[in-house]
Amino acid sequence: MLKFFRNIRRKLISKSKLTSYMLYALGEIILVVIGILIALQINNWNEFRKDRIREKMYLSSLQSDLQESQAELERVIYKTDTIILATLQVLEYASDTAQLPPAAVFDSLIVKTFGYTIAMTNEGTINDIRGSGDLKVIRDDRLRRMIASWDAGFKMIREREALLKTSFENNKIRLDDKIDMVRLNRLHNNLTDEEERYFILHDRKFRNGFVDLVRDASVLNRLYKNKIKNLDTMIQFTQHELRKI
């Protein structure tokens, strides 16, 4: 093919047909430019297709991770609610007008106040997207911002989890000094005697510790519930983008 065009070019030059040669040369240039543009377009299309494949993979995995994180938050909310309810019941028995609870009831409530746990959310896909530099393949601006600010969105939760852990540990240290926690966790009958129960319920440090526990657990649960709503919004954005691909 190149030999054919060279022969035409030689004939045009030899016959001094300069105008025709210029038109021919211009045509060659145009054909080359068109070829380059087509090649670039094909390359761009291939890159776009690869990006959409990666985006679909990320979005599908992200949706699964977010749903798992929601389930994890629901689990922790339930556990934290158990702590709150048990601690509130202990505080009711701590009022001046309340009767001293039976040992079995009191011991069971104390054990329930030790159900401290934290949310272990699934952040695998989030970390993959950010770590690989592929955040740009996520086309939805809102979803991209939520992925980029994931850590900031959990900052308050992690701080409150640390506060609840401190309240829990302080309470446990005080109780360890007063009752046998190993035997208590086995839920034997009548572990605590009346003197121990009365002291725990009416000692100012113990009562303040239970108040701290309820406060920190309640604040944390509100944050967990708000985060579930936030994750639900992310799931909706993710599903919307998946339908477009």
pLDDT, tens only, 53-102: 999 999 999 999 999 999 999 999 999 999 999 999 999 999 988 999 99
Q: What does the alpha-carbon distance between residue 245 and residue 128 come to, in Å, rounded to a whole number?
A: 20
Bin 222: left if φ > 0, else alpha if -120 < ψ < 50, else beta.
alpha
What is the per-residue pLDDT for 243? 94
**Neighbour count for residue 37 (Cβ, 10 Å):** 10
> What is the H or E stretch that residue 164 is in?
helix 150-178
What is the per-residue pLDDT for 28? 73
* Residue 49, C-beta contacts closer than 8 angstroms, at least 6 positions apart: none
Identify the DSSP state of 186: T
What value does the mean pLDDT take over residues 31-43?
79
101-144, pLDDT tens digit by residue? 998 899 889 989 988 899 999 999 999 999 999 999 999 999 99
Model confidence at 188: pLDDT above 70: no
Dihedral of the CA atoms 98, 218, 214, 160 (nearest 10)?
Answer: 180
